[in-house]
Amino acid sequence: MEETGEMMHWIFKREGMESADFPVCCSYGPVSWEDPFKWQGVILGPSGSPYEDGVFFLSIDLPKEYPSKPPHIKFLTKIFHPNIDEDGTIYIDILEEEQWKPIQTIETVLLSICSLLVDPEPVGYYNTSCFLYLNYWDEYTHQAREWTRKYAMEALQDLDQDSAEI
């Protein structure tokens, strides 16, 4: 497959951009074909979780040493979750350099993050959501649903209204 007359970069091939057969729960792709190291992702909130019906956007930056080193993935959409800081930093072992395995792809990492939304793995009290998740489940669930409604659903409703007005 060619893009703008040149051969496709090996990263695009490795990540399956030729077939683009995405899982139901997430999607991803390069921000532009000129930069194979800058990607974006979208995760749909898993049903049965406090994130259900939410649409969450992520930035995905691949280091020059990829796939020997893990990608840097952050949530751009605010989310209340024990493994995700308010700045979008994700705390999951497979993104740590010593746990990273080059066989993993952007898709496998996004699938792991989807799984993490259903089944958090808090390792301490590094944010309020960890504390609530471990000690006050109902409050954690309420807060996570509220943030999902406010940040991952209302923005989409605003977009729908804007496009309906055009």
CB 151 within 8 A of CB 79: yes
State how far the alpha carbon of 101 is from the alpha carbons of 38, 65, 98, 106, 163, in Å: 20, 13, 9, 12, 42
Write out the H or E segment, with its range, that includes residue 30: strand 26-32
In whole angstroms, what separates CA 63 from the centre of its chain? 17
Catalytic residue among 25, 26, 114, 130: 114
Give the tokens for residue 37: 């190291």
**130 labelled catalytic:** no
> Residues with catalytic annotation?
114
